[in-house]
Chain A
Amino acid sequence: MATIHELHTKLVNKEISAVELTNAVISHKAKVEPVVHAYLSDSHELALASAKAVDEAIAKGETISPLAGIPGAIKDNICIKDHPTTCASKMLENFIPPYNASVIEKLNANHYVSLGKLNMDEFAMGGSTENSALAKTANPWNLECVPGGSSGGSAAAVSSGSAIWALGSDTGGSIRQPASFCGVVGMKPTYGNVSRYGLIAFASSLDQIGPVTRDVTDAALVLNAIAGHDSKDSTSIPGQRVDYTKALVNDVKNLKIGVPKEFFGDGLNADVRKAMDEAIETYKKLGAEIVEVSLPSTKYALSAYYIIALAEASSNLARYDGVSYGLRVSADNLVEMSTKSRTEGFGPEVQRRILLGTYVLSAGYYDAYYLKALKVRRVIKNEFDEAFSKVDLLLAPTAPNTAYKFGEKINDPLAMYLEDICTVPANLAGIPGISIPAGMSSNNLPIGLQLLGPAMGEETLLRAAFTFEQARPDCQLVAPTGEVSL
């Protein structure tokens, strides 16, 4: 399994050059992409140019950053200057940002290599990537199944080896759930730990960029490159930079891990439940203390989440009106032009969410929906605070089910929303979460284990995830298409 840290060693030891590595991943990508379709656009030339620069630095004996020269890819809702950034929407199909997202600036400083932009649910709205207006991405473990979403392209690319690492974004589980579906590691950092400047907003108070990687060490390495305060994002948390690799300690003794019973409800798939029980046993054996905890308002999290997310989305997406960028469908007058452009430019799920978001904010319904949701958000945050006063971490499934077949849920929006039950509470509370592979289901699909920590508790999360990974090599499986030959 090719990881950032292994490949970095090979680069430094001159066993392989960055250009050779990049070419190898590009050829592998050419093999898997026709069936996986993780990418929306390519930047191979730029990738090779960056790789060449890294080789020159290595030749000069310079110290290179751990990410330098390792081919990755970026979710297509993160702005890269002069490169199409579409949000997998017809609305932005031809949009070329005149600026870089702050994470891209940070990656540039790390001499990153990007092979292109990755598919997603349109405007990050969805949990299967089926809402992409531009491509249909398959799950590398079973091509008839969805990769999860909305960062389905990110998870599928890393799982199928067409990128060694990827950036995703997580508003209600959009990194963790596809990571779980595709058998890779996905991390949603604390809200405010990674700058959102240049991330095309779905729901501003919930969105967060994070890594999708093959193992926990790589997640720490990517997080090192992208985390930290940014003066362009008013919600960015100030403070000193942290070296997350220091948290990769193979030891969970003295850690108290809480198991919130509300995450283990009736809807939980039996295979997923079994994998969770095994994970709990693993942690017990490793010396962690397992405590049952209660987050009683979890059942209301989904409703609060959808009300808040859709309200914010209705406002965030108002700017796509055909006036100064994006799709324009011509019409005789302005209102008609904007209405036609939006109706043609947005897919059905995006339109549904805009309508709902507009409704919950409109006069007469604000108090019943939006205001209530903001209060429930506080209650949920308080319950997490209470739980974290007793335990260091929480353990739960990432998703109640494994990957499902294309078309299975797409026609029932509410059923689709209910699949997010395990992931949305972390976004409401702003706390970090990580999904790591925890085994396979009886029908050979990956299962994800989710760990949640208190705000800025990424180090504890990484430590516990790393320890699990070391103890359970049986969970570290590579998708049938995922082995890159170097």
Chain B
Amino acid sequence: MKISQEEIKKIALLSRLEVKEDRMASVEKELSDILTYVAELNELELDDVEVMAHAVPLHNVFREDETKPSLDHDLALSNAPEEEDGYFKVPRVVQE
């Protein structure tokens, strides 16, 4: 399975990562190698097999509807790169 540079750009946008132009060729090769390897799963006939999304077959794990103390306000913001009036501050949401 070869991945195209076009596709790399698309998944990079989805992943909020930038693949620099000078790295593009090597990323293309690395990803293609790995995808080619894992595409071996297509050899298998798996139509009747149920998926397994969890390692343990648990179900119905709930908590009661009870409130617990929240974090102290200062602690909640203690790792904030930038804050303003008790808010997390971020740069403009809309791009030019």
The interface of chain A, by Cβ under 8 A from chain B, is 94-96, 98-99, 190-192, 205-206, 231, 234-235, 237, 300, 303-304, 306-307, 314, 318, 321-328, 330-340, 342-343, 346, 351-352, 354-356, 358-359, 362, 368-369, 371-379, 381, 413-414, 417, 427-430, 455
Contact = CB atoms under 8 A, between A and B. Distances in A.
Contact of B88 (A323, A359, A373, A417): A323
26 contacts: A96-B79, A190-B56, A235-B54, A235-B61, A303-B39, A306-B38, A318-B16, A334-B92, A335-B16, A339-B17, A354-B15, A355-B12, A355-B17, A358-B11, A358-B15, A359-B3, A359-B11, A368-B42, A369-B39, A372-B41, A378-B52, A379-B49, A413-B30, A413-B33, A428-B55, A455-B56
Interface in B44-65: 44, 46, 49-56, 58, 61, 63
Contacts of B38: 303, 306-307, 369, 373
A234 B92 contact: no
B15 A333 contact: no
A193 to B, nearest CB: 9
Which of B3, B19, B30: most chain A CB closer than 10 A?
Answer: B30
Given A328-B82, A355-B12, A379-B46, A373 B55 contact: no
B17 A342 contact: yes
Interface in B10-49: 10-12, 14-19, 27, 30-31, 33-35, 37-42, 44, 46, 49
Given A98-B75, A303-B38, A377 B90 contact: no
Which of B3, B11, B18, B94: most chain A CB closer than 10 A?
Answer: B11
Contact of B93 (A321, A334, A351): A334
A417 B34 contact: yes
Contact of A336 (B51, B81, B95): B95
A402 to B, nearest CB: 24
Contacts of B11: 355, 358-359, 362
A374 B18 contact: no
A322 B81 contact: yes
Nearest to B49: A375
Given A337-B90, A358-B14, A359-B35, A237 B51 contact: no
Contact of A333 (B40, B63, B91): B91
| Secondary structure of the A contact surface, majority rule | helix
B96 A355 contact: no
Contacts of B92: 332-334
A98 B52 CA distance: 34
A322 to B, nearest CB: 6
Contacts of A413: 30, 33-34
Contacts of B53: 205, 374
B67 interface: no
Nearest to A355: B11
A326 B82 CA distance: 11
A414 B51 contact: no
Contacts of A414: 30, 33-34, 37
A376 B91 contact: no
Contacts of B79: 94-96, 98, 324-326
B84 interface: no
- 8 nearest interchain CB pairs? A430-B55, A325-B79, A328-B81, A191-B55, A374-B51, A378-B52, A303-B38, A375-B49
B95 to A, nearest CB: 5
A120 to B, nearest CB: 20
Contact of B46 (A325, A359, A376, A417): A376
B85 interface: no
A330 B27 contact: no
Interface string B66-86: 000001000110111110000
Nearest to A308: B53
Contact of B61 (A234, A326, A342, A375): A234
B55 A332 contact: no
A371 B51 contact: yes
Contact of B15 (A314, A325, A332, A374): A314
Contacts of A324: 79-81, 88
A339 B18 CA distance: 6
B7 interface: yes
A378 B55 contact: no
Contacts of A327: 81
Contact of A372 (B14, B44, B75, B81): B44
